[in-house]
Each structure stands twice: as structure tokens, then as C-alpha cells.
Amino acid sequence: MFDLRAALRAAALLAMLAFPAAGFAQGAPNADRPAAPVTGFNPDKAEVHEGEVLAKAPLVGHIIIPDTRAASLIQPNGRVWRDYRRGPLLWLTAACVLGMVGLLTLFYLLRGRIMIEGGRAASLIKRFTSFERFMHWLTAFSWCLLALSGLNVVAGRVVLLPLLGNDAFSTLSVWLKYTHNFVAFPFMAGVVLMFLVWLRHNIPNARDLAWFAKAGGLLGHEHPPAGKFNGGQKAVFWIVVLGGAGLSVTGLALLFPFSVTDITGMELMQVIHGGIALLMIAAMLGHIYIGSVGMEGAIDAMKTGEVDLNWAREHHALWVDEVMAEGTASVHPAE
């Protein structure tokens, strides 16, 4: 059989013997090109330094397994994320939860419960339909579960673990994790419903500025006139809608890991999700306070949907005037 490789080798040897200069042609002076130095370059010797490659961090290469995430060789961002989680995140949690509870306690001690100035009237006025109350409590209950289970992931190791021990805390945490992942959906539904139903009452206007200028009657005893929702309630509405949207987007990205972003993106999503959630927790603590112990008559709006007429006149004078004028007001004597 004719051996092609052997024949080629023989031909090459003959050529080298016949033209001894041919093997050095690249290094030889040439009329057209300047001489290139003979380096004896060995590609295996070229040092590839981690530090230089990592400067283009994260260090991603080529792999032969299907899991594309494994192509990331070193991602030093993990350290940054860890430092954030062990430091600023815990401080932010303490500030938003303990700080807000402290502020509200101080406010209660200084201002006391905000009473209905004119005392309770003899009649009630319909303020929220049963559907409005349903969507409020759907959001509220799911939000409470989400906030508590989320806080457990952030601070449970510091607060609850020493009390419960590893096994009990781990069992609690895994159930809270599933709670967080699945209750997210009723929360999102509630936010969407509230956005659709209450948007037309929550367009900011000049009256809101006047309301904020007088701190909404929180500090003094003068209640600036307001429509169905006053400036503070509109602020709560937009905090819930925008905050809820932010939480939903980042939360869905976290629920479906690596489907929309890479490892750095996932870390960023987690940071944003936690940050928005903590600011919302602070805001909602204020909302819960003023809707319950902080103000006489406020809870009725979401409990029975009917509020005291004097309370409505003090806090939502323009709304009372409007529904009275429209003839849509449903007023009946208190029992």
C-alpha cells in the first residue's frame, strides 16, 4: 500500500537538502519585508496569569458539560454580595423594622391616638365595597406572610436560630421559603387589582401638596380637605404599586433562577428585592399603625367598609361632599 505520509516526509527531506535556506526563509532578510527576529516562541510557555484574566471579571471559559453556569470559573462578585448580606443588609433591616417601630412608639407617646375631633356621629357612610376590602386584605395578608418569611431569610439566623436551635429553625425556614415562593402570587394579584380599581382616586394633584404642607393633620389638629384618598394614602398607594411592581419583577427573576440573567444579575436582583422590601416594610408599618391604633375610626373602613360620618368629614371632606352631591352616598344610622 502506498504510504502518503512517508512519501511526503521524504519529499520534504529532499527539498531541505536541495534548498538549505528555505527552512529559515521567515527569519531571512527580505527585500519586501523587514526582518522578524527569531524567538523560538513556545506557546506553552506563555504565562497566563489569573490576575490579568480576572481583571476582565467574572472569569468565564468554555466547558463541555450542558450546565452553562459552570462556565464561570471565578466570580469574585460573590464576596461583594456576601459582604452586603452580612453588613449593610442587616443594618438596613434593623433600621427599617426596629427604627420604624421606635419612631411609631415615640409618635404614639407624643401625639397619642388621633381622635375624631367632633366625636362619633350617629350615622355611618359606606366607604369601601366588599370587593375593595377583599383586594386590600388579599394584599395585606399575603404581604405580611411575605414580609415575615423574607425577614426570616435575612435576619432569622441572628434572631431566631439561637432561640430555636438548628433543626427546628431549619424546618421552619424551609416552610417559610415555600410560603414566600407561593404566596408571592396572591400578593401580585392583589397589587394588580388595587392598581386597576383605585388608580383613578390616586392621581396626585395640588391638594396633596397642601395636605403634605400641613403634615396631613398628623402633627396639628387641622385636617386639610381631601378626596377619597388624601396625600398620605396616595403615597401609600404608589409605594405599594411601584414597590410591588419592583418586588414582582425581581422576585420572579429570583423564582426562575438564571432564566433572564446571569450570576451577577441574580446577585443584583437579590439586593434590589431586599432593599425595596425593607423600605416597604418601614412604610407599611406606618400604614398599619395609622390604620389601627393610631387613629380612632380608621379601621372601620377596611373592617366593615362603613365609617363614622364625622370621621369621613374630618379626613375626607371633599369625598363626602362629592358622593353626597352625586347622590351615591350610602348613609344610615349607626346601631
Partner 1 sequence: MARMKFLCDADRCIECNACVTACKNANEVPWGINRRRVVTINDGKPGERSVSMACMHCNDAPCAAVCPVDCFYTTADAVVLHNKDLCIGCGYCFYACPFGAPQYPKTTNFGARGKMDKCTYCSGGPEAADGSAAEYAKYGANRIAEGKLPLCAEMCSTKSLLAGDGEIIAQIYRERVVKRGYGSGSWGWQTAYQETINV
Positions in the binding site for partner 1 (CB under 8 A):
43-51, 53, 59, 61-65, 67, 69-79, 81-82, 85-86, 152-154, 156-157, 161, 166-167, 169-170, 173-174, 177-178, 180-182, 255-258, 263, 266-267, 270
Minimal distance in Å, beta carbon 162 to partner 1? 10
Task: List the beta bridge partners of residue 333.
Answer: 123
Residues 8 and 103: their CA atoms lie apart, in Å, by 89
Minimal distance in Å, beta carbon 222 to partner 1? 48
Minimal distance in Å, beta carbon 283 to partner 1? 24
Q: Is 226 exposed, middle or buried (0-12, 13-18, 19+ CB in 10 A)?
A: buried
The C-alpha cell that represents 206 in the structure block: 395640588
CB atoms within 10 A of CB 174: 10
Minimal distance in Å, beta carbon 170 to partner 1? 4
Minimal distance in Å, beta carbon 155 to partner 1? 9
CA 105 to chain centre: 27
Which CB sits closer to partner 1, 116 or 147?
A: 147
Q: What is the DSSP string of 78-125?
A: HHHHHHHHHTHHHHHHHIIIIIHHHHHHHHHHHH--B--TT---SEEE
Residues 310 and 2: their CA atoms lie apart, in Å, by 110
Minimal distance in Å, beta carbon 71 to partner 1? 6
Which CB sits closer to partner 1, 261 or 304?
A: 261
Which CB sits closer to partner 1, 151 or 323?
A: 151
Which CB sits closer to partner 1, 102 or 165?
A: 165
Task: List the beta bridge partners of residue 308.
Answer: 124
Minimal distance in Å, beta carbon 92 to partner 1? 16
CA 34 to chain centre: 62
* Nearest one of 281, 246, 316 to 97, comparing CA atoms: 281
Which CB sits closer to partner 1, 56 or 200?
A: 56
Which CB sits closer to partner 1, 23 or 61?
A: 61
Residues 73 and 79: their CA atoms lie apart, in Å, by 14
Which CB sits closer to partner 1, 85 or 126?
A: 85
